[in-house]
Amino acid sequence: MNVFLRTLCLFVVAVTAQLDGVSQAFAQDEVAKEPATPKKELPLDVGQQAVLSRFDRFEKELVQMAEQLRKADPERAELLFRTHSKSQQERVIGQMRMIHELLGGKPPQFGDSIERQEELVASLLVLLDLLQSENRISEIEAERARVNAILKNVNKLIGKEKDVRAKTERGADTDESAKDQEGVSKDAENLIETIKQQDAQKQADQEARGGKPADSKPEDGEGAPGDKEPDKAADKDDKPKDPSKPADGSSKPKEPGDKDPKEGEPKGGSPSEGDPKPGDSPSSKPQEGQPQEGQPQEGQPQSGKPQSGKPQEGQPQEGQPSDQQKTPGREDLEEARQEMEKAIEELRKQKDRGKASRHQDEAIRQLLEAKEKLEEILRQLREEEKSLTLASLESRFRKMLSMQLLVYQETIRLDKEFQGSENDANRIARARQMATQQEEIVQEVDKALVVLREEGSSVAFPEAVEAIREDAASIVQLLDQAKAGELTQTLEQGVIEAIEEMIDALQKEMEKKGDEEPQEGKPQEGQPQDQPLVDALSELKMLRSLQLRINRRTRQLGRMIEGDQADEPEVLKQLKTLSGRQSSVQKATYDLSTGRNK
């Protein structure tokens, strides 16, 4: 599975790099004032063809791997099939072919190809998100549980520290207050140590998976953080430095301010060998534009480049987690503990309770800062989880829709070809084959329903999916009896309509998530920490759609009834199903209005 993820990442990188190459070539054509010496043009169309071939091979291997995993790991196989289906829906291969044609035209159409490459990269990222959704959702759930446990302990520390501060301000015995403060400080120390162990374990797990920390040292060719970009260095000296030439740049004019080397010293102003001469600085002044090893370049902070043998600031020492891998609020907890220790010292002096109280106030402030950061990371994890869940559901329902459309078309064809011959062997065989296909749709609906039930924040969406499942199961029974008439087709139309509404609703939710701006600062008071998968307005719209479908189905069944009473078993069964569905909609509406789903 990781091989596919890395391969897809390479596709995104390749297309992005190709986009940069096209942009640069196009910009050079725009700024050229006169024909220059003919240069060998970059074969962009050839590169695009290579990417196209690789992705075509990737899609075939994706299907092959899914077939191999169908029995051993059906869930992962289903994810691979959905990824392939999403690739077909996004028309990734078609987009690549179109870009290849644009780049290979006479002349190449750079403008259109750039726009299409941007769309292609977005499509590839959608596939990447889908492939990562399975493991990432599990990781998010585990991380949320961990952060929630830390937040619970931080809230306890805040309560205990407030109690100790209250005792201090009331004039309680200083020895007793110091003892209580020591207990809170010990609890904070234990919590910090637990967080450190968790951070170290996360880093070890990431390294074991072959991952690279976000702020780790880049590989060759990527450039080190804090170093100047090559083009900026070149601009400073007008041409790149030749390592084989002396550092004083004897091949170019002397820069203003440069001093002539003293007699007996090599050019460049640095001592020949051994220790520096008396009176000289410990390290010779580097030439302008060329920083000495271990020293920052001009305009960069000292921590911008690592000194020899020391890690760069912001990069972890060996065995230590990086700043980006540290749990949010960990540093605030450490500062809060330091303030607690200062308060203990002041209490033991038995002189100034005011200083001890101020240190306790600062400790409380730092604990509250840690709490806010933990709540913010929980909100971010929840938003990411919702996005992945919505994308996964949308892809699954699209697969259901394509499967249901095939069954519906075959049902119409079967009804026309064998009209009047209910007991024909060929009709029965084909109908039962379609029933098997419909049963696969029921299984897909069950998987989507499990996701929504486990997520737990939505009321109307699970009810809508449950209604789809009931109708799909009824279609299985009718097709198994070789019944492809009006009732079967009506149910299939209802399922298609319901799935299309579900896809539309999920797409709108994903668009809203993308348009929402991240909240800055402290969250609003009274705002729930865990936002629901969909908002209340979307829930109401889904309940309205459910009620409209019940009304429409009731009228359709009414037209099938001759007389005042229904006597056909299938119609009676559908009326009973509608009765239960109406009761479910009523209950869901009540739960939504009273907030029982929260």
| Residue 589, both tokens | 């509406």
| Residue 256 pLDDT | 41
With cut-offs at 50, 70 and 90, classify the pLDDT of residue 243: very low
CB atoms within 10 A of CB 302: 10
Whether 305 has a pLDDT exceeding 60, the answer reads no
| Residue 162 pLDDT | 94
CB atoms within 10 A of CB 429: 11
| Residue 530 pLDDT | 64
Q: Pick the residue with more confidence: 233 or 320?
A: 320
| Residue 54 pLDDT | 85
Mean pLDDT throughout 547-568?
83
Whether 295 has a pLDDT exceeding 80, the answer reads no
Q: Please give the model's pTM, rounded to 2 decimal places.
A: 0.58
- Please state, for a pLDDT cut of 70, what percent of the chain lies above it: 68
* Mean pLDDT for the chain overall: 74
With contact defined as beta carbons under 8 Å apart, do 549 and 494 qualify?
A: yes
| Residue 4 pLDDT | 52
- Please state, for a pLDDT cut of 90, what percent of the chain lies above it: 25
Q: Break the chain into its structural domains and give their ranges.
A: 418-516+533-594
What interhelical angle do 110-170 and 2-31 show, nearest 10?
A: 120
The counts of H helices and E strands in the chain are: 14, 0
| Residue 586, both tokens | 């009523």
Mean pLDDT throughout 432-457?
90
Instruction: For residues 535 and 238, give the distance between their C-alpha atoms in angstroms, rounded to a whole number.
Output: 58
With cut-offs at 50, 70 and 90, classify the pLDDT of residue 476: very high
Whether 127 has a pLDDT exceeding 50, the answer reads yes
* pLDDT tens, position by position, 482-532: 888 888 999 999 999 999 999 999 988 888 765 554 444 444 444 444 678
* pLDDT tens, position by position, 258-281: 444 444 444 444 444 444 444 444
Mean pLDDT throughout 538-552?
90
With cut-offs at 50, 70 and 90, classify the pLDDT of residue 547: very high
* pLDDT tens, position by position, 322-367: 555 688 899 999 999 999 999 998 888 876 788 889 999 999 999 9
With cut-offs at 50, 70 and 90, classify the pLDDT of residue 132: low
H helices present in 32-73, as ranges: 44-72
Q: Pick the residue with more confidence: 564 or 389?
A: 389
With contact defined as beta carbons under 8 Å apart, do 268 and 287 qualify?
A: yes
- Reference 192, options 11, 68, 21, 340; nearest CA is 340
Instruction: For residues 355 and 534, give the distance between their C-alpha atoms in angstroms, rounded to a whole number.
Output: 50
